[in-house]
């Protein structure tokens, strides 16, 4: 952790949000992984009944992404994102450092850690088959195009679909961008290791298809014909 960045984040809260009752610094800076291009991810807490929005601005030469919340809005977002298996706000709060207002900020941090530790809801048969279908369809698209730009786009779609299905099978949270990779790194599974290796070293479409089919084999294999989404009448 760069103490200078933490001090800058505190000054941001003091000057831009004098009515705040607490704040936390999360993201790469709190994890000690900040790069010159990293922004400051700051959760700013107001009393219940206060505002709830996200604002990107600059402060002392750094971009700041400020998540303005109350305890009630944090609970609402945590519940919504946990149901979708993508706890973006909880990830931010759980892996944060308290900047100000410990009495308000620490309970938010603890609640986020508890939510993450409990893991996502179990994979249902409906979600399993929907994800199985989506990955199968993406594999068909990959096999059916020779356009280089299309192949590039579809390879990522196959990779992401395979990773997310594997994460759900291992009852891990989902994530976007860097967090997709970080969650996959937490899985003790050879296919997860092979997918990460593929992304970092290969990019070969044939290897990706092999890995994606290995994931599908865990849930019954390729699925297209016969799959039904929604309540079909008799």
Over residues 14-31, the pLDDT tens digits come to 999 999 999 999 998 998
Question: Are the C-beta atoms of residues 30 and 97 closer than 8 Å to each other?
Answer: yes
Same domain, 98 and 169: no
Same domain, 84 and 140: no
Over residues 120-167, the pLDDT tens digits come to 999 999 999 999 999 999 999 999 888 999 999 999 999 999 999 999
What's the whole-model pTM score? Answer: 0.90
Q: 36: pLDDT confidence band, cut at 50, 70 and 90?
A: confident
Q: 67: pLDDT confidence band, cut at 50, 70 and 90?
A: very high
Same domain, 26 and 109: yes
Between helix 178-185 and helix 190-197 the angle, nearest 10°, is 140
**Quick check: is 135 in a domain?**
yes
**Quick check: is 227 in a domain?**
no
Which residues 6+ apart lie within 8 Å of 162 measured at CB? 135, 195, 208, 211, 212, 215
Q: Where are the alpha helices (DSSP H) in 101-171?
A: 102-118, 125-143, 148-169
Q: Which residue has the higher pLDDT, 136 or 35?
A: 136
- Tell me which DSSP letter residue 64 carries: E
**Quick check: is 196 in a domain?**
yes
Distance, CA of 193 to CA of 187 (rounded, Å): 8
Same domain, 28 and 68: yes
**Quick check: is 225 in a domain?**
no
Same domain, 110 and 157: no
Please classify residue 113 by burial: count the beta carbons closer than 10 Å to its beta carbon, then call 0-12 exposed, 13-18 middle and 19+ buried.
middle
Which residues 6+ apart lie within 8 Å of 82 measured at CB? 90, 115, 120, 121
Count: domains in the chain: 2
Same domain, 19 and 101: yes
**Quick check: is 223 in a domain?**
no
**Quick check: is 233 in a domain?**
no
Q: Which domain covers residue 12, as residue numbers?
A: 3-118
Same domain, 19 and 112: yes
What does the block give as tokens for 29? Answer: 């800076």
Same domain, 195 and 171: yes
Distance, CA of 137 to CA of 124 (rounded, Å): 20
Same domain, 110 and 30: yes
| Three-point CA angle 26, 31, 36, nearest 5° | 90
Q: How much is the average pLDDT of 169-194?
A: 95
Same domain, 61 and 160: no
């Amino acid at each position: 952790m760069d103490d200078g960045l933490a001090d800058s984040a505190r000054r941001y809260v003091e000057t831009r949000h004098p009515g705040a009752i607490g704040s936390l610094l999360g993201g790469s800076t709190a994890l000690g992984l900040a790069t010159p291009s990293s922004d400051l991810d700051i959760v700013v807490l107001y009393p219940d009944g206060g505002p709830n929005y996200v604002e990107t601005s600059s402060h002392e030469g750094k971009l700041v992404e400020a998540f303005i919340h109350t305890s009630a809005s944090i609970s609402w977002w945590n519940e919504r994102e946990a149901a979708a298996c993508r706890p973006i706000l909880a990830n931010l709060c759980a892996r944060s450092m308290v900047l100000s207002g410990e009495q308000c900020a620490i309970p938010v941090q603890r609640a986020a850690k508890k939510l993450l530790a409990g893991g996502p809801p179990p994979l249902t048969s409906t979600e399993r088959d929907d994800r199985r279908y989506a990955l199968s369809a993406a594999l068909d698209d990959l096999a059916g195009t020779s356009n280089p730009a299309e192949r590039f786009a579809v390879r990522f779609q196959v990779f992401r679909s395979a990773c997310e299905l594997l994460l759900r099978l291992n009852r891990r949270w989902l994530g976007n961008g860097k967090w997709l990779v970080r969650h996959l790194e937490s899985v003790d599974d050879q296919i997860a290791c092979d997918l990460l290796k593929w992304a970092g070293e290969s990019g070969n479409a044939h290897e990706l298809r092999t890995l994606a089919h290995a994931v599908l084999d865990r849930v019954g294999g390729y699925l297209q014909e016969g799959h039904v989404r929604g309540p079909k009448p008799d």
